[in-house]
Every structure is written in C-alpha cells, then in structure tokens.
Structure 1
Amino acid sequence: MKKISILGCGWLGFPLAKRLIEKGYTVKGSTTSENKLSILENAGINPFLVILSEVEESIESENVLESINDFLNNSEILIIDIPPKLRGNNADSSGSSRKVFVEKIQNLIPFIEKSNVKKVLFVSSTSVYGDENEIITEETNPNPETESGKQLLLAEAILQKNKNFETTILRFGGLIGEDRHPVKFLAGKENLENPDAPVNLIHQNDCISIIEEIITQSKWNIVFNAVAPFHPTREEYYTQKAKEQNLVVPKFSSEKSNIKKTISSDKIQNVLNYKFNLEDY
C-alpha cells in the first residue's frame, strides 16, 4: 500500500490523513506547532515538525533538514496543503510584498527531488482566476488579482515544470464544512456587495473524497477546478443559510454587481466520474 506525506495537517489535511489511514495508507503528516505533534500521533499519523520558512535561515541546522528529509523519506506521494497566509509581517522594508509562500515551495523542491516522491498533489485555489464575467474552466487563462492568488499561481508553475515528479493541481473554491461556513461571518452585516454573484463553494467532505479519487485513479499531471455544481446567487444562498441556522439575515446592497464568475466542475466530474454530495451545501 502506498505511503503518503501530507504537508500541512490543518483544517483539511488532518481529516484527510485520517481518511487515508482508514483506507489502509501509511501517512506522515507535518505541522508547524510542536503542541500538535501528539494530536497527530494519537490519530495514527506519523508526525513531523516542518517549518519551510526556516530552511534558508537554518541551513546549518541538521534538525531542520533532517526533519524534512525524514518526512518525505520512502513516501511515493506528497500532498501539499499549506495556505499562503500572506497577512502580517510578510512585507519587506520597501513595503512591497515578498514572495513568502513561493519561497517556501522553492525551499521544498530540493528535498522532493532527492526523495522517493514521484507524485505531488498541490492544493491551490480558484483565486488564481480573475473576476471575469464568464464561466471559468481549466482552460481559462489565470489572472489573479489578490497577492495570495498570484503566489499560488507561481507555486503551481514551479511544481509543474519540475520533471523529477508529476504534479496535479487542485484548485478549490470557497471552503466550507460543519465547523466553517461564511454565513457565520456575514450574519447581521449590511450593504454586502455582489448580491447577484454566483457562489462557488466546496465542502470539506468533497475535498477529501476528490483527493482520494485522484490518488486511487492515479490522475497526475492534470489541473482540476474543484467546486460544487451548485451556484445560487450570494443573496439567495446566504439568506437561506442564515434562516436555517437562526442567524440574523445579512443585507445586500441594492446595487447589482457585474461579477458573474462561475467555476465549472465539468472536468473533475468527467475525468474522475465524481459525484458531488450536494446535500452538504
């Protein structure tokens, strides 16, 4: 049975690791917090402390390098699921944003190259696309407008052009789950923009199942958009969800928006023969 390393055992990576273990895979998982090592271990995950931002700063530190090498050692598949996290002190002295996330991926590449990893699954985002008023497919030219989207796109390219391993890019839409739903942050707010914009969401359960299918069906060197084929307007959807959860219904601006971006999931449904569980939405 395959051995898998998951870089980033957070909101998605942790339950994903547990699902893969249930399916019989041996899973190594990374965290940047020493306090979380025991949590991973108790879940049956082989835990590693991996902090990519320290690789260059601690190039002489054997502990940092050894930890990454051991994390990747003997794994055939690497899943990279670390968020860009570009807020805070990620700007240089001139005030321009550093390519912090891109640097992390670049730091990781030499370790992948000398490991047994031959397949990489990179969790990206549909933020690599601009806010074009159209249906977005994997053939649409990316045009990121946010800094995180720009850095994700650069990281995708770094991985895709490397011939030492095959990379599949998985671009998720807005992430939701039982413990994570945007309506909780929108409840009670007023003058929200883009009432007519379609929602492009994906539930944690579908995220995990899609990754499992990519591994099971060995679908590599592919780019997938992963968004549920369910696109009511923002106003319709969040009004309904607020009522269902007994929250104050958010109020949207009366001004109609021009943004009608809809992310198509046709490719992932056709190539993987995947069926989304729309009851989760």
Structure 2
Amino acid sequence: MTKISILGCGWLGLPLAKNLIAKDYLVNGSTTSENKLPILKEAGINPFLVTVESENVSENITDFLAESEILIIDIPPKLRAVDPSSEKKAFVEKIKNLIPFIEKSTIKKVLFVSSTSVYGDDNSFITEETIPNPDTESGKQLVLAENLLQENQHFETTILRFGGLIGDDRHPIKFLAGKENIENPDAPVNLIHQKDCIGIIEAIINQSKWNAVFNAVAPFHPTREEYYTSKAIEMDLALPKFSSQQSNIKKMISSEKIERTLQYKFILEEY
C-alpha cells in the first residue's frame, strides 16, 4: 500500500486524509496543535506533531516522512498583512529548511498546494502558461517556494494553484452579507469547493501527473455582485451592497488544463 505524508491536516488536509484512507492509502498527517493529535488518530491517520519554521524544523520530521512515497505540502504562508516586510521570505525559508529532509527521505513525489494569487490582479484570462506576477507578499513567497521545489532534482513536484476556497462550512458571503460599498462588482469570481480540491488531488495521485502545474478554479465565473447577491438570498442573509464604480479587476482563471488532462468534472452545483 502506498503511504502518503500530508504536511498540514487542517481545513483541507484532514478531509483529504480521510478520503485517501478510504481509498486504501496509508497516511501520515501532521498538525501543529497537540490537541488535534487524537482527532487525527481517530480518523485513521498516523499523527505527528510537526512544526516547520524559518529557523528550524521539528526533529520528528524524519519519522513523519519515513516510508512515504508522496508528500503533500498544505501549509499557508500566514504572513502578517500589517507588516509583511517583517516576515520577508519567512515562508520561503520554511520550505528551504524542509527540503533537505525531503531529499534524505523516501519521498519521490511532492504535491505543493499553492494559490492563484501568484498571478496578481491583472486584467487577463489566465492559464498555466501565464507568467506569475504576484502583487502581495504571500503571492511572491509562494512563487519562490514553487520554484525551489520544482528545481530540485531529488523528487518530482506538481504545483496546484487553488482559487478562493469554499466549503459547506466556509463561504465568503458570510463575511460580505450586509456590507456596503463593496468594490469590484463586475469582477468574475474564481472559486473552488473543498470537495473539488480533494477530487483533483486524488486525480493527480491516481494518474501520476507529476512535474506539472495546474490552476484549480471552477469553470463558473459570474460577477461578484451577481454571485454574492444570489448566495445571500439563498442563505437568507442581508444583501451585500456593491459600489457603483466599474471593476478594475477582470482576472478570470482557466481550469481547462485540469478538465482536459485529468478528465476531471467539477461539482458545479455545490457553489
């Protein structure tokens, strides 16, 4: 049985691990919270308390990676928006510290969970051929981290760039409901459901699609005003009120490569 290590069993990593276990994979899962260890164990995950910092990596990283063939890295940059310069390259340093341990392990394949924020908010139709042009500190560090992993010759890396994450327990309309003068009313939405995130990762693993880059956004791009107004009505929430000014953001992310290469069909009704 193939063993997979998931670095970061949080909102996405935990249900992903459960799905992989249901498909007969063995899973090592990490958390930075000791209180979550019993939760991981109860789910059938071999649990590890692992911290990856810009200065060091916890000693048990070697045991966490042991005998695994695939590593899924799902740890967000978590940079302070108030002063991003204070954590300049902090996330990149974490990945730099992690790589030597991967090189010494049995890991042959790495799947790095990234974000479409690497493209910035330029007005364009974006595919995997689009050159990243991030305008946020987290986006800049994600690009650098992607490059570090892709350039390493000890393992094969696939980069998976997710759009805005939503799920049964997570939806941006809950934060926008009742707010006024919301910017970019006619900007297209670029969202992806948790179930599709999991389905796409499973497809990449099952079909051995390594040394690749994929954008993962549902092929469903109504305007922000149309979409969030509709969701507010559906969830019986206060309607959001949008600015009358036209949007200066027209970014639309294409997932055509995922649909074509992986033969993947998105769960549109969930959005």
TM over 0.5: yes
**Mind listing any 5+ residue stretches in structure 2 that lack a counterpart?**
none
How far apart in 2 are the matches of 1:150 and 1:258? 21
3-state SS of paired residue (1:197) = coil
Question: 1:162, CA displacement in angstroms?
Answer: 0.1
Q: Structure 2: how far apart are the matches of 1:116 and 1:223?
A: 23
Give the secondary structure class of the aligned counterpart of 2:76. coil
What secondary structure does 2:4 align onto?
A: strand
Counterparts in 2 of 1:92-171, with a 5 A limit? 96-171=86-161
Q: Which amino acid aligns with 1:239?
A: T
Could you tell me which amino acid in structure 1 is paired with residue 233 of structure 2? K
| 8 A contact 2:3–2:25 mirrored in 1 | yes
8 Å CA contact 2:73, 2:112 repeated in 1: yes
Q: Deviations over 1:238-278 (max 9, x none)?
A: 00000000000100000011211100000010000000010
The residue correspondences of 1:14-93 to structure 2 (distance < 5 A) are: 14-53=14-53, 56=56, 64-65=58-59, 67-87=60-80
For 1:2, the equivalent position in structure 2 comes to: 2
SS at match of 1:70: helix
Give the match's secondary structure for 2:53. Answer: helix
Instruction: Give 1:61's aligned residue.
Output: none
**Distance (Å, rounded) in 2 between the aligned partners of 1:230 and 1:208:** 18
AA aligned to 2:72 is: I
Q: Distance in 2 between matches of 1:232 and 1:89?
A: 31
How many residues end up aligned between the 2 structures?
271
| CA deviation map 1:79-105 (0-9, x unaligned) | 0000111127976xxx54321111111
Identity %: 75
TM-score, normalization by structure 2: 0.97
Q: In the aligned structure 1, how far is the partner of 2:41 from the partner of 2:65?
A: 17
Following TM superposition, by how much is the alpha carbon of 1:125 offset from its aligned partner in structure 2, in angstroms?
A: 0.1
In 2: Cα distance, 1:217 partner to 1:135 partner? 27
Q: Distance in 2 between matches of 1:89 and 1:257?
A: 25
**Secondary structure at the counterpart of residue 258 of structure 1:** coil
**What SS class does the counterpart of residue 269 from structure 1 fall into?**
helix
**CA–CA separation in structure 2 for the residues paired with 1:6 and 1:241:** 33
Deviations 1:160-187 (A, max 9, x none): 0000000000000000000000000000
